[in-house]
A and B are shown apart, each in its own frame.
Chain A
Amino acid sequence: MSISLQHISKSFKTVNAVNDVSFEVKEGELFGLIGPDGAGKTTIFRILTTLLFADKGTVTVAGFDVVDDYKEIRNHVGYMPGKFSLYQDLTVEENLDFFATIFGTTIEENYELIKDIYVQIEPFKNRRAGALSGGMKQKLALSCALIHKPKVLFLDEPTTGVDPVSRKEFWEMLKRLQQKGITILVSTPYMDEAELCDRIALIQHGKILQIDTPQEIIKHYPKKIFDVKADNMYRLLESLKSYEHHYSVYPFGEFVHYTDKREDFNPQELQQYLEAKNHQNIKIEITKTTIEDTFMELAK
């Protein structure tokens, strides 16, 4: 096991940030911690990176205990904190060089590992980090976290505040890193990214809701989901919520996701109900279940 948490709890003055959390990450696995803001993701990361003590439970990273062997762990992990934390007044190259130096290595030595990522920002290597775009900052931060060839990589919400194209590229990079044998624990509030992980843990209010592969999690969703659309989306939402057979109704992109209580639900009936409510251009279609649907269901 590369990372193992057993019954971890951590509370701050008034909040119970993490509540009896246990999970394990296998070597070379890309593991996702999925949950909304304030779910306790960052606290878990800080416990794993030896920055915080857990109140209860045991944690090992790369075979070392986070309390007793914290110095060892600090040699073997790469950490990319939630907010962009590089030196804004240093150039791209100086930042990378600095992190290489404090980990006792050089850019040349591990260039192979970061090459894919770094070539994209290398044209700007003399630019100050503060003047980079969000996507480039993120690539630089990842390069800095990787420069000492860590065994385990911790990425706390790496794609927050990054444009969709860069996000997609970023996940492709993670897949390539994983192939090089690095264990990656990544957190994200974006449910669509969850499907790119090997396994995920859904987390809310400091508690794990479910741990499994994204495919399994979706498979276990008990209902059929329908995309519903009409001209006046707000009124549609109201109408659906007042429909006596509805099970769950929530906006999802340009549609409303609807599930019905009945096993033998016929969309035709809903169509008639909505027409009676004077809705125009009604569309009802069955759709694929996503992680977000599962999360909404579990978080109920």
Chain B
Amino acid sequence: MKRFIGFIKKEFYHIFRDKRSLFILFGMPVAQILLFGFAITNEINNVDIAIFDKSNDATTQEIIHKISASKYFSIKQHITNEAEIETVFQKGKVLAVLVFEKDFKKNLTKENSAKVHIITDATDPNTANSITNYISAIIGSYKMEINKNVNLEYQIETKSRMVYNPELKSVFMFVPGVMTIILMLVSAMMTSISITREKELGTMEILLVSPLKPFQVIVGKVIPYIFLSIINAIVIVLLSIFIFKMPIQGSLFLLALESVLFIITSLSLGILISTVSATQQTAMMISLMGLMLPTILLSGFIFPISSMPLPLQIISNIIPAKWFIIILKGIMLKGVGLAFIWKETLILAGMTLFFIALSIKKYKIRLE
């Protein structure tokens, strides 16, 4: 046991003295969460728009007021002729122009229908799309209000309700994905690199010729990373709660247990990688190409699995990250308990056992 503790102590020295791996360990999670949370987002906020109000009556004034009162838009300028629309876009001053037709109020009350034209700068199609949706929503809610007042019957309206993320906060969707990727990266890549480093430096030769048992070497390598991954998971959850005000709906205890399970899955993958690669370079390439890419592309983190072609949907089943993301979304966003995610948990546990068994079988007690 003393031997084992001595070994773990040495591993911690390695980690804390290597500035680069320390940076990957702790800088990466924070950077990724902040990036996905703030920069890479589908939300719109304070978008500059222009108004071209041809009728300028009480109704249009009210709509304009509603739009400018929302935090999504700020009205940058009012324009007075068609030609100006193009100019404001070209100058890049605004991302959308709202055009109200002539006699807006009259048309609405007399003919029951009035037109408003939303022109958006579609150089960024996602934002343009969001702007259109947001403005339509604001106008739609105004329409409901006036309908209530005049008590008109059979008004047709489209209605969409967003569940689980009613504010359409994209960061909520990213947190489970980012957490998965980071735990995978830290656990699998760092362990595989740290084991292959011993091979590369030749110290593995001495460790093999010592009375230290192979399983002690492996477990000793893994324990520090379990510890660090747990800290990482906690940092990510805290960041999401306190910076992005993300509510964790489900049990924190269950979340912690599932995270530990996934950490162990990733570590066993890391060990497996280290048994097949001779150098740190190879270990890193296998981790990146073999683990990170499928995790990002096939786990449902960025592209929804249901919209993938069938063969990819089938392949996605063997990606551990897919199951963990389902579990995370379940616990974090929907607040479900183990009763709803036991199947995914079982799959993940099975995969872990399989990887551990395989690595033990492949681990060499000699050099060949």
Residues of chain A at the chain B interface (Cβ within 8 Å): 46, 49-53, 70-71, 74-75, 77, 79, 81-90, 94, 97-99, 101-104, 144
Q: Which residue of B3, B10, B202 contacts A90 across the interface (Cβ within 8 Å)?
A: B10
Main SS class of interface, B: helix
Contact: A50 with B366, CB < 8 Å? yes
Interface flags, B179-212, vs A, CB<8A=1, else 0: 0000000000000000000000111011111111
Contact: B203 with A86, CB < 8 Å? yes
Which residues does chain A contribute within 8 Å of B365, judged by CB atoms? 70
Q: Which residue of A lies closest to B202 (CB)?
A: A85
Residue B17 at the A interface, CB < 8 A? yes
Contact: B367 with A74, CB < 8 Å? no
A-B contact list, 16 entries, CB within 8 Å: A51-B366, A52-B368, A53-B366, A77-B209, A79-B205, A85-B203, A87-B203, A88-B201, A89-B13, A94-B13, A101-B2, A101-B5, A101-B6, A102-B207, A102-B210, A104-B3
Q: A90 vs B207: C-alpha distance in the bound complex, in angstroms?
A: 16
Which residues does chain B contribute within 8 Å of A89, judged by CB atoms? 13-14, 17-18
Which residues does chain B contribute within 8 Å of A103, judged by CB atoms? 3, 210-211
Residue B7 at the A interface, CB < 8 A? yes
Contact A83 to B202, CB < 8 A, known contacts A102-B210, A104-B211: yes
Q: A87 vs B211: C-alpha distance in the bound complex, in angstroms?
A: 18
Contact: B201 with A102, CB < 8 Å? no
Contact: B209 with A51, CB < 8 Å? yes
Contact: A102 with B211, CB < 8 Å? yes
Which residues does chain A contribute within 8 Å of B367, judged by CB atoms? 46, 51-52
Question: Contact size class for B?
Answer: 20 to 34
Tell me the smallest distance from the CB of A41 to a CB of chain B, in Å: 15
Contact: A79 with B3, CB < 8 Å? no
Contact: A94 with B211, CB < 8 Å? no
Contact: A102 with B208, CB < 8 Å? no
Q: A85 vs B207: C-alpha distance in the bound complex, in angstroms?
A: 10
Q: A50 vs B2: C-alpha distance in the bound complex, in angstroms?
A: 24
Contact: A81 with B205, CB < 8 Å? yes
Q: Which residue of B lies closest to A97 (CB)?
A: B6
Which residues does chain A contribute within 8 Å of B212, judged by CB atoms? 102
Q: A71 vs B212: C-alpha distance in the bound complex, in angstroms?
A: 10
Contact: A102 with B366, CB < 8 Å? no
Q: Which of B1-31 contact A (CB under 8 A)?
A: 2-3, 5-7, 9-10, 13-14, 17-18
Q: Which residue of B lies closest to A51 (CB)?
A: B367
Contact: B209 with A102, CB < 8 Å? no
Which residues does chain A contribute within 8 Å of B14, judged by CB atoms? 87, 89-90
Contact: A87 with B205, CB < 8 Å? no
Tell me the smallest distance from the CB of B92 to a CB of chain A, in Å: 52
Q: Which residue of B lies closest to A128 (CB)?
A: B17
Contact: B10 with A79, CB < 8 Å? no
Q: Which residue of A lies closest to B203 (CB)?
A: A85
Q: A75 vs B111: C-alpha distance in the bound complex, in angstroms?
A: 97
Which residues does chain A contribute within 8 Å of B7, judged by CB atoms? 98, 101-102
Tell me the smallest distance from the CB of B3 to a CB of chain A, in Å: 5
Contact A104 to B2, CB < 8 A, known contacts A51-B205, A81-B205: yes
